[in-house]
Structure 1
Amino acid sequence: MDVHVIDADGLTKHTPDELPALLTRADAVVWVDIPLCETQHADVLTRVFGFAELAVRGCVERNHISQGHLYDDHLFTVLHAPELGRGGHVHYVELDQFVGPNYVVTVHGPLNPVVDRAVAQIDTDHVLARIKAGTLHPRTPMALSAAIVSAMIRREIDLVAKLARESGRLEQQVTDEDHDDDPEALLEQLFEVGHQLLAIRTIVTHSAETYRNLARRGTRLAEADAGLVVDLADRFDMVRSMAEGQREFVHGVIEFFQTRTSTHLAVAAQELADTSAKQNDQMQRITAWVAIIAVPTAVTGWFGQNVPYPGYGTTAGFVASTVIIVVAALALYVLFRWKRWL
């Protein structure tokens, strides 16, 4: 648990034992950052801050959707930031916040073991570094909270931009027919990018609705704080539109790829059918001629046996066999022409 105080002199670090005294100060913003909420931390949240048991439980357990609750003297939010994993999977990195009259408590929720713990603190570390460098000096708890959420939003925008570059690269491969790629692998990559954009859109949609709901119900918020809440909701909506637009682009690329592939398959199938028809026609012609040629072979083969038959060894027998060959061949020719085999 890290305890910081932001006042007119800048940022100073304190111990958790000093919290009760620090929370009495009206001239400073007390920032408590908890990397992972364990039993001793939950006890501090309940005993020192007096937070509701349900909210504290939400810090200990993993939450799968964003949410916001407005209490009498503070508000509680649950947000998620996307982190790309393997195979198109998107991890939900949780950040819980309590924003009170003179304090902000940030709690980094439970993480999937495959996600580096440092990923959960990217945004809070970024804000802390800016405060230390003197480029940021939040004067109210809501301003500090908004700075942290703004860092999260900028990271989401960068992630959408990264996926936009990747989808553009894949689109070039799809439109380049000379590019030697595995179609199945290319389509799999497109599906992964589309799924990642869908996950980001879902995350920011929930976040936008959380702040939009707080703005509708936050009649007890100061005017400046209410303006920050509305601004954050609008910025989350902007990221949602960006992710949705890029996802539609990816779907368009997938549809183009599938349509072009289907067209190529249809053309190839038609060409194969035409080739098969030509081959069938040629086989019919070959079969017809083979049948015609088989007639003299059969007749001469029969009459060529060493078996006497009427006309054997005479001119009349030769003429008779010749007539039989010609008549049979002509009959077959006429038959095949009638069947349009010739």
Structure 2
Amino acid sequence: MPSLPAQGRDKSAGPRIRIPTARAVVDCGVYVDGIRLPGKYTHQAALAEVRRRGRGFVWVGLLAPDEGQMESVAETFGLHELMVEDAVHAHQRPKLERYDDILFLVLRTVNYVPHDSVATASEIVETGEIMAFVGADYVVTVRHGDHSGLANVRRSLEENQERLALGPYAVLHAVADHVVDTYLEVTQAIEHDVDGMEEAVFSPRNTVAVEHIYLLKREIVELRKSVNPLSNPLLRLTQSPGNPVPKEVRRYFRDVLDHHTTVAERIAEYDEVLSSLVDAALAKIAVQQNTDMRKISAWVAIAAVPTMIAGIYGMNFDNMPELHWQYGYHLVVAFIVSVTVGLFVTFRRNNWL
């Protein structure tokens, strides 16, 4: 948490307590020739061990560090202050930046929120962030969001010593591959929501609130903002000129880029489908409103007949035709019934009722 300026602090609150960096460290490992060394290390001790040996690298995983914790890590690994600011405050677009010999990659993570129906859901996709700082002998990953855990990625890499022996960029690839695979899973889950919404809209006797389609479209827009900007960083990681990523690892990044392209195409397809569903739902509403107006107009026309006749004979004049007929009442009632029945049959035959 950034410190408050002096004029904004409560003097009675006393000095701000510094939270140890270890609180933000989820895991810290030293890897030599693809094998994790036994024992627990602080980030300072881990880097010192690697540089003492002259080979291997350090992988430090952090979860939502505050400014003080991140500054401690930055001092140890020589990270630029702008990188520290991005890592603490998060809410960054996917991007790839290079500071001297350090690569800084920002990835947006997504997670599908289970729900019974789009009509009852308030959120379908939640987002988080993973930031990776990669140097010659270390990789630091910073996570924001409860769903963005990398424990399985670390475990899988530790079981593949040949891949892990490729160094810190192999970890960067594994993290990016994990994030993009999550994109695939989320888009597959959303596909069921889109298909269900499409079926509901085009069902003849089913009414779908346009707000539900807008909710799903809003989540697709959020997903697109998280996914699509990553294409350029992945493309840069696969290119050769001036790229510090080893050739063996660049080949793996090409596969990640292919998967990312698949995800981007799916999102574009869902967006187009939902746009057409909005148009179809609005057209369906317009047709329903037109049908309702015809029914209302028909009933008004039927009700106008007895109303008009009753209104005429409700005028208190003495000299009105047929006013004193013996069977006048019965004739008027019969006339009203015959006209209203005739109108009802006519409207029913023309599908107005």
| TM-score, normalised via structure 2 length | 0.69
What secondary structure sits across from 2:320 in the alignment? helix
Structure holding more helix per residue: 1
1:162 pairs with one of 189, 204, 212: 189
Which one is further off, 38-47 or 124-133?
A: 38-47
Q: Does the CA-based 8 Å contact 1:208-1:232 persist in structure 2?
A: no
1:73 pairs with one of 91, 94, 101: 101
Q: Deviation at 1:134?
A: 4.4
Q: Cα 1:256–1:53, aligned 2, differ >3 Å: closer, same or farther?
A: same
Q: Deviation at 1:97?
A: 0.3
Q: Cα 1:71–1:230, aligned 2, differ >3 Å: closer, same or farther?
A: farther
Q: Deviation at 1:120?
A: 2.7
Q: Does the CA-based 8 Å contact 1:35-1:108 persist in structure 2?
A: yes
Q: Which amino acid aligns with 2:109?
A: A
Q: Aligned partners of 1:73, 1:173: CA distance in 2, in Å?
A: 54
What secondary structure sits across from 2:163 in the alignment? coil
What secondary structure sits across from 1:48 in the alignment? helix
Q: Does the CA-based 8 Å contact 2:35-2:161 persist in structure 1?
A: no
Q: Cα 1:94–1:24, aligned 2, differ >3 Å: closer, same or farther?
A: farther
Q: Aligned partners of 1:98, 1:264: CA distance in 2, in Å?
A: 57
- CA deviations 1:20-63 (Å, max 9, x no partner) are 22145554342111123235542443322111111122212223
Q: Which amino acid aligns with 1:155?
A: T
What secondary structure sits across from 1:272 in the alignment? helix
Task: Output aligned runs, 1:14-163, within 5 Å.
Answer: 14-16=40-42, 17-23=45-51, 25=53, 27-39=55-67, 41-84=69-112, 87-88=122-123, 90-109=125-144, 111=145, 117=146, 119-121=147-149, 124-134=150-160, 137-138=163-164, 139-163=166-190
Q: Cα 1:20–1:83, aligned 2, differ >3 Å: closer, same or farther?
A: same
Q: Cα 1:262–1:169, aligned 2, differ >3 Å: closer, same or farther?
A: same
2:264 pairs with one of 232, 240, 252: 240
Q: Deviation at 1:224?
A: 3.5
Q: Aligned partners of 1:75, 1:24: CA distance in 2, in Å?
A: 23
What secondary structure sits across from 1:120 in the alignment? coil
Match of 1:263 in 2: 287
The alignment's C-alpha RMSD in Å is 3.3
Q: Aligned partners of 1:136, 1:220: CA distance in 2, in Å?
A: 22
Give the 4+ runs in structure 1 shifted more than 6 A.
285-291
Q: Does 1:7 align with 2:7?
A: no
- CA deviations 1:276-333 (Å, max 9, x no partner) are 3455467667778999x932537x9xxxxxxxxxxxxxxxxxxxxxxxxxxxxxxxxx
Q: Does 1:294 align with 2:317?
A: no
Q: Does the CA-based 8 Å contact 1:190-1:254 persist in structure 2?
A: yes
1:196 pairs with one of 216, 219, 241: 219
What secondary structure sits across from 2:171 in the alignment? helix
Q: Cα 1:225–1:71, aligned 2, differ >3 Å: closer, same or farther?
A: farther
Q: Aligned partners of 1:178, 1:297: CA distance in 2, in Å?
A: 51
Q: Aligned partners of 2:162, 2:281: CA distance in 1, in Å?
A: 48
Q: Aligned partners of 2:49, 2:57: CA distance in 1, in Å?
A: 13
1:211 pairs with one of 231, 234, 238: 234
Q: Does the CA-based 8 Å contact 1:201-1:240 persist in structure 2?
A: yes
Q: Which amino acid aligns with 1:45?
A: V
Q: Does the CA-based 8 Å contact 2:98-2:104 persist in structure 1?
A: yes
Which one is further off, 277-286 or 193-202?
A: 277-286
- CA deviations 1:186-211 (Å, max 9, x no partner) are x3332222211111111111222333
Query: Sequence identity, in percent?
Result: 16
Aligned length: 286
The answer for unaligned runs of 5 or more in structure 2 is 1-24, 114-120, 326-353
- CA deviations 1:228-250 (Å, max 9, x no partner) are 44543443232121112122222
Q: Aligned partners of 1:213, 1:178: CA distance in 2, in Å?
A: 51
Q: Aligned partners of 2:233, 2:143: CA distance in 1, in Å?
A: 18
The answer for unaligned runs of 5 or more in structure 1 is 112-116, 301-342
What secondary structure sits across from 1:96 in the alignment? strand
